[in-house]
Amino acid sequence: MKSKKVLFVFGITILLLTGWLLSVRSSTGAEVIAEQKQLVEQADQLAERKLYVRAIELYKEALQNKTSLTVDIQEKLLQAYEAYGDMDDYCELAAKRSADGTAKEEEYLKAAECYVEHADLEEAVPLLESGIAKLETTGLQDYLEQIRYAYTLSIVGFEQILPTEDNTLMPAYNGEKWGYINNNGRVEIAFDYDSATAFGTDGFAVVQQNDTYYSILKNGDWYGADDGSSYEKMSDVLMVSGSHILGQRKGSYSYYDYDFEPLAEAFQFEKMTGNACGVAAVCKDGKWGVITDSGKTVTDFIYEDAAVNSLGNAFAGDRAMVKENGKWHLIDIEGNRIGEQEFDNAKAPESNGYIAVANNDGRWGYIDRNGELIIDYQYNDAKSFSQKLGAVQSVNDWCYISIYNEKVIDEPLQAAEPFHNGIAQAETCEGMSLIKLKYFENE
């Protein structure tokens, strides 16, 4: 009986204590809000008198506690920052409100405009993309499309420049010999060669001089020589793919190391592409198939052709375009056909973006990675999208369009390559040029 009384008293005590705590918490919350209102009232009065430096400090003090008034106080602080000309803090607060999901369209736009004024597209574009994802408005998307394609165009004066995956060291032809230039158009490796490939991921490329192929390092030093001392000399080198040289010896293409020694003598092909997405397209007896990086068969040799992109690969974004029964269609890295659509011509994917295809009238448009027509057939020629841009030819000139089919780099170009690592090679009436995006996202 005594124990029951003790438990009863203990229970009553707990209930009383809980009620007291709730009362205190409620009272404290009310006091905080009252204090916030008082601080905001004082800050408002100072802001009306344009004494922003003092008003800002009071708004910030009011925001030290998070309450139901926080969002409204933040908006007042944003107004004070803007009136005071403190756009750095404005942008910082707008970014915080974006993360919290409370920012408004006007805040996104003003913050983005501030970033653009300071040439800071690295901040402006992601902020706008965040706003687009959160708000149902076209204003942010319209502004994003206005700014995201800012670029520079530099005439570099060579007859030909080959695209590479990172475009930091590019093979270039001066009309007589091949060498290498950097992304500013300056010569890095002398123009001493009859041919040159892009550098692979291991930092090796292949050049040819006096009918002999050499593997070279990025500083231009020779590493290996195909001089006929160990094997019959190669008759052609396609590229360096990953850590392999793709070369032709005795009429067949295969994989070789940087000393030009065979790596897979059992694999001999009439034609081959670079390895990308873990696979490559290879040709035997006039038909194309797909193999993995380790040489395992993905598809039989059933295709009439395989499109090859600007980097020498058939695959990009886990997709490739192959020709079967006279028509082109899309496949994935497992050889599965994507969609039922067929096309009269096609370019290889350059990324996970739109892919250029043509109809029987020779007009070009674009499909997505599911094979659905996204941009209707309307161009004389086109190249697949990369970094949200596609090169298209209307009449004679080339330009670049956005995924919304709007011209965004509208220079009079005689030729245009896809973008890689924010750079594209293009030909103007003054010669070869490098177009550099001020902002880009690698895909």
SS (H, E, C) 186-206: CEEEEEEECEECCCCCCCCEE
Would you kindly state where each structural domain of the chain is located, as residue ranges? 2-151, 152-203+263-437, 204-262
Strands 431-437 and 423-428: antiparallel
Structure tokens at 160: 């030909």
pLDDT band for position 441 (cuts 50, 70, 90): confident
Question: What is the model's pTM?
Answer: 0.87
Domain 152-203+263-437, second-level architecture: 7 Propeller (2.130)
Q: Are 299 and 283 in contact (CB under 8 A)?
A: no
Chain segment 368-396, per-residue pLDDT in tens: 999 999 999 999 999 999 999 999 999 88
pLDDT of res. 157: 87
pLDDT over 70 (residue 208): yes
Residue 38 near residue 65 (C-beta atoms within 8 A): no
> What amino acid is encoded at 294 in this protein?
S
pLDDT surpassing 50 at residue 354: yes
DSSP-based three-state secondary structure for 236: strand
Phi (first) and psi of residue 407, to 5 degrees: -70, 125
In the structure, what pLDDT confidence band is assigned to residue 196 with cuts at 50, 70 and 90?
A: very high
pLDDT of residue 28: 57
Q: Is there a contact between 419 and 310 (Cβ–Cβ < 8 Å)? A: no
Write out pLDDT tens, residues 294-311: 999 999 999 999 999 999
Six-digit token pair at 310? 């600007």
**Mean pLDDT on 254-277:** 97
Confidence of residue 184 (pLDDT cuts 50, 70, 90): very high
Q: Provide the residue type at 138 as one letter.
A: T
Instruction: Give residues with Cβ within 8 angstroms of 51, minimum separation 6.
Output: none
pLDDT at 80 exceeding the cut of 60: yes
| Per-residue pLDDT tens over the stretch 112-139 | 999 999 999 999 999 999 999 999 889 9
Helix 70-84 / helix 87-100 crossing angle, nearest 10 deg: 160
Q: How far apart are CA 425 and CA 435, in angstroms?
A: 6
Residue 21: is its pLDDT beyond 70?
A: no
Q: Identify which has the larger pLDDT, 28 or 356.
A: 356
Cα–Cα distances (Å) from 52 to 79, 113, 250, in that order, read: 10, 22, 80
Mean pLDDT across 42-56: 97
Give the pLDDT band (50/70/90) at residue 14. Answer: low
CATH tag, 2-151: 1.25.40.10
Give the separation between CA 69 and CA 277, rounded to whole angstroms.
Answer: 52
Q: How far apart are CA 36 and CA 28, in angstroms?
A: 12
Q: How many CB atoms lie within 10 A of CB 299?
A: 17
- At 7, the pLDDT band (50, 70, 90 cuts) reads very low
Give the CB-side neighbour count of residue 419, counting CA atoms within 13 A: 29
Q: Where are the alpha helices (DSSP H) in 49-192?
A: 52-62, 70-84, 87-100, 105-117, 121-134, 139-147
User: Could you tell me what percent of the chain has a pLDDT over 70?
Assistant: 94
**How many angstroms separate the Cα of 19 from the Cα of each of 11, 23, 24, 25?**
12, 6, 9, 10
Instruction: Please give the backbone phi and psi of residue 166, each rounded to the nearest 5 degrees, phi first.
Output: -110, -10
Sign of CA dihedral 361, 363, 364, 365: negative
Per-residue burial over 358-373, b = 16 or more CB atoms within 10 Å of its CB, e = otherwise? beeeebbbbbbbebeb
Q: What is the pLDDT of residues 401-438, one digit of tens each?
A: 999 999 999 999 999 999 999 999 999 999 999 999 99
**Residue 228: how many other CB atoms lie within 10 Å:** 12
Residue 6 scores a pLDDT above 90: no
Q: Is the pLDDT of residue 24 over 70?
A: no
| SS3 sequence of 328-360 | EEEEECCCCEEEEEEECEECCCCCCCCEEEECC
Beta bridge partners of 323: 305, 328
- State the CB neighbour count (10 A cutoff) for residue 185: 17
In the predicted structure, residue 86 carries a pLDDT above the cut 60? yes
Residues 6+ apart with CB under 8 A from 10: none
Distance, CA of 176 to CA of 161 (rounded, Å): 13
Instruction: Say whether pLDDT at 360 is over 60.
Output: yes
- Work out the average pLDDT over 55-66: 96
